Amino acid sequence: MRVSHSGKLVGRGHATNSYLPCTEITLVNKPLTAKRSLVFFLVPNFSLLPFSAAIETLRIANRMLGYDAYSWRLASTDGAQVVSSSGIALEVNSSVADERKHLGGESRPSMVLVCSGVFVEDFQNKSVNAWLREVYNRGVAVGSLCTGAHVLASAGLLTGKRCAIHWENLPGFAEAFPQVDVFADLYEIDSNIYTCAGGTASLDMMLNLIDQDFGENLVNRVCEQALTDRVRGPHDRQRLPLRARLGVQNAKVLSIIELMEGNLAEPLSLLELADSAGLSRRQIERLFRQEMGRSPARYYLEIRLDRARHLLVQSAMPVVEVAVACGFVSASHFSKCYRELYNRSPQQERADRKVTLAQAAR
């Protein structure tokens, strides 16, 4: 990859390495040929962090090996450049039409990874869906980085499959694709489908590939170069633990909050929450005011409204369905509570999102 004079990143079909072969890596009966050829399909507003972390992990592996075991190219719908969510534009090597031709020739990839980010719910392209299905049906591994699972699900590739997606997008994804088993894991591998939640988790998923191909010795060398001290497993948590995220130390309060977060569509009563913690209602009222600065009822309401906000901006669900999914008995009560917290109605929230989308498309 290089930077053009216009300041735009330009993708290349292979890495340009200053090789530093490592004599400590012992490879038994490993041919000096490319192990994998990957296509990174870029969706508008894709996230640079998981994309670059994936490619850099493979580049470092090549450098440690002393040859191009991994090669890659970038693709977009029409072969035009794609602008990331950070505003950096990348030139690509091919279009979907080009990639369909490559499936029958020497340039056939061993894996296709969909890279996306914010506003992925608005990416709808029948030709991309058809291409992804063809890729999978021809035995090529298919995967995604960050929110790319949304594109794979739209193509019908995740029905009955396990997948991972960024925690922020999980509520809307689960509502849009109830037939998919989605988890807040770092990454999931189900048969020939690889999905990653994004961020630095793409490094971990690429390390898994490298381990499959060359073993733990090379993985350790890549980790040393990338300044990471451990390889995270697929089921490691995405988010900080509640204790660290909220700055709360009281175990009783934390256990009640976990129950609240797990029961948003059908909220538990304060009596049920108190019983689960072995406390009286008066005790949890006092604890929440001490630790959270608000009553348990108010805190429960706020996390339900936060879930609603995610659904409003990440899905096309009618407002009344959003209300039901977040435990409100009526759309009018939901709208009243939403306006009190966010100073805007649910309808205004969705309208503002459309304006943001229009601005991003310019």
pLDDT at 153: 97
What is the mean pLDDT of each successive set of 10 residues along the chain, which is 362 residues long? 40 48 48 76 96 97 94 97 96 97 93 94 94 97 96 97 91 90 94 95 96 93 92 82 79 91 92 92 93 94 93 85 92 95 93 67 56
pLDDT at 354: 66
Which H or E run contains 115?
Answer: strand 111-115
DSSP 46: B
The highest-level CATH class for domain 242-360 is mainly alpha
Kindly list the domain boundaries of the chain, sorted by start residue.
Answer: 2-226, 242-360
Q: At what angle do helices 251-262 and 270-277 cross, to 10 degrees?
A: 130
274-294 burial code (b ≥16 CB/10 A, e <16) = beebebeeeebbebbeebbee
Assign 3-class secondary structure to 177-244.
Answer: CCCCEEECECEEEECCEEEECCCCHHHHHHHHHHHHHHCHHHHHHHHHHHCCCCCCCCCCECCCCHHH
Alpha carbons within 13 A on the beta-carbon side of 261: 9
pLDDT at 358: 57
DSSP string covering 52-79:
HHHHHHHHHHHHHHTS-SEEEEEEESSS
3-state class (DSSP) for residue 173: helix
23 alpha-carbon distance from chain centroid: 36
CB atoms within 10 A of CB 311: 22
Strand order in the sheet with 89-91: 2-3, 9-10, 89-91, 82-83
pLDDT at 292: 92
72-91 burial code (b ≥16 CB/10 A, e <16) = bbbbbbeeebbbbbeeeebb
3-state class (DSSP) for residue 104: coil
pLDDT at 29: 45
pLDDT at 182: 94
DSSP 168: G
CATH number of 2-226: 3.40.50.880
In the chain, the amino acid numbered 142 is V
